[in-house]
Amino acid sequence: MATYFVTGYPGFIGKRLVAHIARTDRESKLYVLVQPKFLKDAQKDVAALENPNVEILTGDVVDMHLGLSGDEYRKINEQVTDIFHLAAISYLGVPKETAWRVNVDGTRNMLELARDCATLHRFNHVSTCYVSGDRVGVIAEDELDVGQAFRNAYEETKFQAE
């Protein structure tokens, strides 16, 4: 039985991923990390899933230990087998400091969590084609860093996170 930890909930992809797992893997446990400002929406969405194995944890990827209590962080470290890191700030006009904090530091915090998880099997980091910056044409997955320039902080910070 898997135990999942998902960031970026209740965002567009996160909502659909959690709904899919909750529907197709009803025996597994799901923890979803939700920023306090999205808690009410997340509670409604989770209630509609009708799966008692989905638990909301309030926190933020930018905070130390994701803003979780010591007990919550330990529980995640002991149980989680699969992480889906979807949280990101994707507004193209975002100030660089904000994008860096969420996209780079948030990913670093998630990697630290992954390192601490005793039973982790897989870390899934959802990124974007925007890591290619100003490149054009066909770009292969193994061509991340080829000296491209970036048009905005979003592209640059997603590249740095990856």
Residue 52 preceded by cis peptide, ω within 30: no
- Would you give per-residue pLDDT tens digits along the chain (162 residues)? 899 999 999 999 999 999 999 999 999 999 999 999 999 999 999 999 999 999 999 999 999 999 999 999 999 999 999 999 999 998 888 899 999 999 999 999 999 999 999 999 999 999 888 899 999 999 888 888 999 999 999 999 999 999
Tokens found for residue 38: 């999205």
Tokens found for residue 136: 């054009």
pTM attached to this predicted model:
0.94
For 95-115, give one letter per residue: b (16+ CB within 10 A) or e: eeeebbbbbbbbbebbeebbe
Tokens found for residue 114: 């992954």
Q: How far is CA 47 from CA 3, 40, 83, in A?
A: 19, 11, 22
